[in-house]
Amino acid sequence: MTIDELITLLTLERLEANLFRGFNQDIGSPNVFGGQVLGQAMAAASATVDDREMHSFHGYFLRAGDKASPIVYDVDLIRDGGSFTTRRVVAIQHGKAIFNASMSFQKTEEGLTHQCDMPEVPPPENLPSEQEFRIARADMLPEDQREFFVRDRPVEMRPVQPDELWSADSYPPEQMFWIRAVDAVHGPLALHQAILAYSSDFYLMGTALRPHGKQFVRGDMQSASLDHAMWFHRPFQIDDWLLYVMDSPTACGGRGLNFGKIYTRDGVLVASCAQEGLIRVLNKDG
């Protein structure tokens, strides 16, 4: 998939003033990719807001998405205040909600400012592409999934700890990737935010597996995104390198909690995210 194809995927058909329809990308997973639903829901909400930038969203995945059917996004205009605008988005397939989210937009203003420092890491030019690892490990997957697994993605990822990527060993629940769109992205900040939200769903949930030596591709896990939240702090360009820093403070009850911080190359914190996911170990002998 090219970046232009991703932008097309995130460009919705307007059915009514606050009703939109989006189509699906098949990335080889059994169901619709959660990052796609996030990005499309953001695009739907943003289409109903003028002159304000999204600063946060909080979403819940309710049902698995059907790749064969389009998704309808129903936007509820909750409030247009003096400084903040609130939208509720429900994604619908076959008459049932598969995802809902609250999204908040803010008028630009100045205020107090501070941030966490970015970790010191090697530059992206000195690191291999994550795609190289996917190609090298494609034989681990069923044959019908390999084509999608090795396909080019619109956002490149370069692991900061390449020797640990997909290892069966145990590691601390932390990982980092450099990420950027593979081609130039021309469009408003809302488009860059939607592409970043789409990209933020890759690898984040797997952070909680690292202490346990587990990998989703090995087929002994049942997994699903349960929720996803994101906060946008400062403007950025998705076609410039961004450092995605992930950590998982806890896993319990068949769920893993993961956090992410996203920095520009010069160390500016531009976004944060959080996701809880189902990480259920399957008993193949039962």
- Among 108, 273, 110, residue whose Cα is nearest residue 179: 273
Instruction: Confirm whether 275 is a catalytic residue.
Output: yes
Residue in 225, 247, 248, 272 annotated catalytic: 225
Instruction: Confirm whether 199 is a catalytic residue.
Output: no
Residue in 25, 104, 200, 275 annotated catalytic: 275
Residue in 201, 215, 247, 248 annotated catalytic: 201
Give CA–CA dist 25/189, Å, rounded.
23
What 3 state SS string does the chain have?
A: CCHHHHHHHCCCEEEECCEEEECCCCCCCCCCCHHHHHHHHHHHHHCCCCCCEEEEEEEEECCCCCCCCCEEEEEEEEEECCCEEEEEEEEEECCEEEEEEEEEEECCCCCCCCCCCCCCCCCHHHCCCHHHHHHHCHHHCCHHHHHHHHCCCCEEEEECCHHHCCCCCCCCCEEEEEEEECCCCCCCHHHHHHHHHHHHCCCCHHHHHHHHCCCHHHCCEEEEEEEEEEEECCCCCCCCCEEEEEEEEEEECCEEEEEEEEEECCCCEEEEEEEEEEEEECCCCC
Q: Which residues are catalytic?
A: 201, 225, 275
